[in-house]
Amino acid sequence: MSKYDLNDPTDVDIMKAQFNMISAEEWDEYIELAEESKMGYKNINILKTASRKAGMAKYLSVKVINWVMSVVDKLEYEDDEYEDDDD
């Protein structure tokens, strides 16, 4: 994930759009991955919050969306590494 300027309306809109594109089922997968990789209580809870607000970024603060998307990026990176090791 790119570093976004939280004060730039364009960057904020991009983050919200990325958040809204993730379905509730995908959030559940991210939660499972986070629990398997023992990412920590706070990160798992923020993913659960995101799952409840799937498609409704307007109800979350910009800082929370930024945090959630950074956790998602870490999970996707770890998952990609895991799949590369299987080959």
pLDDT in tens, 27-63: 999 999 999 989 999 999 999 999 999 999 999 999 9
pLDDT band at 85 (very low <50, low <70, confident <90, very high): low
Query: pTM, whole model, 2 decimals?
Result: 0.82
> Tell me, what's the pLDDT at 3?
81
How far apart, in whole angstroms, are the C-alpha atoms of residue 76 and residue 51?
16
In terms of pLDDT, which residue wins out, 86 or 71?
A: 71
Give the domain ranges of the chain.
Answer: 9-86
Sign of CA dihedral 3, 41, 65, 20: positive
Query: Does the pLDDT of residue 2 top 90, yes or no?
Result: no
